[in-house]
Structure 1
Amino acid sequence: MKIALCVNHDKYLKDGMFSADRYVESHLREFYRLLKEAVEDKGDEIHTLDLYEDLAQPDVFLFFDYPLFNPLEYSAVKWKNYRRMRKVLQDTGRKILYIWESPLYNKGNFNPENYRQFDKVLCYSPLEIPNYEYFPYSIRRTDVSRCRVISRQEFDSRKLSCMITSNKLIQGNGYDLRYEIVDYFENRSDGFDLYGVNWIFEGISKAARVILRKKYAARPPKNYKGSCDSKQDTFEHYRFGFAIENLYGFPGYVSEKLFDVLTADCVPVYTGSNIMEGTIPKDIFVDIEAFASLKQLDDYLRAMSYEEYAGFLERKIEFLHSPQFADYFHQANVGRMMDVIYGKNEG
């Protein structure tokens, strides 16, 4: 069997999706590397679409998000790849859509008219279509042995909270909430530290953002501490870590932002309305939406007793050692993908 991986990003082409030498988010690269190994173990092959000269060669077309082309990012390579993907959708052949990005990044992923072009649609969010199959967010197998219930002495010595996020030009939903949190703590000297990239600008980049009146273009927030090498190591200096999805209030959309804090010795402060019942327990994080204002949330975090905090950690640790958490690992999702490609009854 020959499988064609259809991708939007030009750096993913020429099998870049599997390569450590290209820019591919590490958690994505590992998932597709494991999938490639599983396919090759069967004696079959999987390559990105551009490596198949004849579109009649592949037996299965696996789309990583719906075909998207941004004229502002035009290149001859991108345009050719996009046109070939569109042709695949118009022709006969077995096609699978694996939805990864939220509607903020790819509206085509959530246009019901598009689902008719696929034999199967895999998504973390429930879709009212006959060819839908649930597919949770995929993460690396994580060593959770470092997660423990910290001592009262360590609880007392830790700073209150932090957030690790980049400063992008995108606006709306979770991006706006992150700015609200940064703004709230801007003139408070304690209780919050900010880490991440793209908070300090120079030259044309700085001038453009100033002209566009983007927040913190001229200077970083007062609580900004720079970038960090390890999210886990950083979170473990704080009692609480803010985890704000790019899109919240969208059923099933849970990304690495929550898992980054969950797998550290820290309690997540999260936008949790997108958690579906039966997946991630809602009592292992502080739900931002349970509070009428950021001040109420801040007051609650500052007043939390050691006993209540230890309870969050105990419940979190129980989840991290459960089959429910392991269900998010790449290995489990590669198994799901192989079942979709080959059929669940094949050995």
Structure 2
Amino acid sequence: MLTGSIYGWENGQDDIFNPQSSRNRDDCLEPMRLMSAVARQNGIELHTADVNAQKHLTPDFSLYVESIDFVPCGAKKNYLILYETPLTIPRNADSWYLNQFDRIFTWNKDLLHNGLQDYHGGMVMRDRFVQIQYPNPIPKECSGDFQGPTYTQRQDFVCLIGSNRHANLVDERELYSQRVKAIQWFEKNAPLDFKLYGNGWKVPQKRLGSLGKLRYRMEKAIPFLLGKPVFKSYQGPAKTKYEVLSKTRFCICFENARNIDGYITEKIFDCFFAGCIPVYWGDVGIANYIPAECFIDFRQFASYSDLYRYLKSMTPERFAQYQQAAREFLLSNQFTPFSSQNFADTIIGQIKDDFALA
């Protein structure tokens, strides 16, 4: 039996496999449970690092599910799942950090094709990178054919679900600030047609750097003194994303960054599962992965006014066409790379190969 230690899940005690975990919002831990199940089927036992340490076990391999500090543990091989872009986690483009791992699972097409050469001249060879996509658990509320409420059955018009955060590098590709611009436009021009959900929106836009933090503190003081909300459309955290999206016609669906090939997160899939039409901005080649008929491409509009007019003019029939295209995609083999099962199979399959397991 091969043993692996998982690093990067602070709760420990195998909480990452627990469907009742307080952190299992929208069943986000399903990929980890499937990975554990596939591992057992192949003679591999996975635990969080603290569990193996309590048993005084030296793992055969380590698997980092977040880009945290590397902890030498005597493992024969070390693996990293690279979820985020360097704009959010700068060390994800640091050759010194990445070279501590034998294999790095990533969606990043540039790394997969070319490897990495960082700003210091350090290199990571491309054969260390293994392709995965963000895994997307299907909500339990979904029917087998992904039929959802129709246009007329949805009471809300446009929403945005996300947390109030900022990029950790200065880069024109970041979209955190563009989400705020979208929120501000709708609050000013179409306040009755827009609702904001997520964490951290009781305070102003989070900003990068010392000057950004100073501006944030100044902006935070004014609404506090006046007793006014910062974002008037804020509804609080979503109980579940499916609950919000299934009652809403359109969702502002911006990735954390744009124009990074392969960076497609759960956001657009959350919309598809609930039959909500995403207004998407992110991967420059999104239509290479997901048919263009499934979503509204934000880049096709010169302004939010143009976008809003398009949304308001949409007929129930046209809305149903978007929904049908998304359902067909979800039921096709095109969705397979984005599934939780494919995520688990790919990672465990690579570990099997590396340890020459039958």
Fold in common (TM above 0.5): yes
Tell me the residue number matched to 2:119: none
- Report the Cα offset of residue 296 of structure 1: 1.9
Tell me the residue number matched to 1:198: 200
1:273-294, Cα deviation, whole Å (9 max, x unpaired): 3455642223311111222222
SS, match of residue 130 in structure 1: helix
2:301 and 2:97 mapped to 1: Cα distance? 38
- Report the Cα offset of residue 176 of structure 1: 0.8
1:78-99, Cα deviation, whole Å (9 max, x unpaired): xxxx5xx1x35xx772222211
Residues 227 and 64 of structure 1: is their aligned pair in 2 closer, same or farther, counting only changes over 3 Å?
A: closer
Question: Is this contact kept in 1: 2:255–2:282, CA < 8 A?
Answer: no
Residues 224 and 215 of structure 1: is their aligned pair in 2 closer, same or farther, counting only changes over 3 Å?
A: farther
- Pairing of 1:148-227 with structure 2 (within 5 A): 148=147, 154=152, 158-168=155-165, 173-188=174-189, 189-200=191-202, 211-214=217-220, 218=224, 219-227=229-237
Tell me the residue number matched to 2:122: none
1:283-316, Cα deviation, whole Å (9 max, x unpaired): 3111112222222222222223344333212211
1:284 and 1:303 mapped to 2: Cα distance? 18
Tell me the residue number matched to 2:259: 249
Please tell me the root mean square deviation across aligned C-alpha atoms, in Å: 3.3
- Report the Cα offset of residue 100 of structure 1: 1.7
1:185 and 1:250 mapped to 2: Cα distance? 27
TM-score normalised to structure 2 length: 0.76
1:121 and 1:151 mapped to 2: Cα distance? 42
Question: Is this contact kept in 2: 1:2–1:57, CA < 8 A?
Answer: no
2:321 and 2:350 mapped to 1: Cα distance? 39
Residues 55 and 134 of structure 1: is their aligned pair in 2 closer, same or farther, counting only changes over 3 Å?
A: farther
- Pairing of 1:83-98 with structure 2 (within 5 A): 85=71, 87-88=72-73, 93-98=76-81
Tell me the residue number matched to 1:333: 343
Residues 151 and 140 of structure 1: is their aligned pair in 2 closer, same or farther, counting only changes over 3 Å?
A: closer
SS, match of residue 190 in structure 1: helix
What is the identity percentage for the equivalent residue pairs of Structure 1 and Structure 2? Answer: 25
Tell me the residue number matched to 1:123: 106
Q: In the comparison of the two structures, how many residue pairs are matched?
A: 320
Gaps of 5+ in 1: 69-81, 202-207
Tell me the residue number matched to 2:241: 231
Question: Is this contact kept in 2: 1:149–1:310, CA < 8 A?
Answer: no
1:150 and 1:49 mapped to 2: Cα distance? 43
Q: Which of 290, 293, 296 is the aligned partner of 2:306?
A: 296
1:193 and 1:130 mapped to 2: Cα distance? 45
SS, match of residue 327 in structure 1: helix
Question: Is this contact kept in 1: 2:197–2:235, CA < 8 A?
Answer: yes
1:15 and 1:160 mapped to 2: Cα distance? 40
Gaps of 5+ in 2: 115-125, 204-213
SS, match of residue 99 in structure 2: helix
Q: Which amino acid aligns with 1:329?
A: S
Tell me the residue number matched to 1:284: 294
TM-score normalised to structure 1 length: 0.79
- Pairing of 1:72-111 with structure 2 (within 5 A): 85=71, 87-88=72-73, 93-111=76-94
Residues 307 and 149 of structure 1: is their aligned pair in 2 closer, same or farther, counting only changes over 3 Å?
A: farther
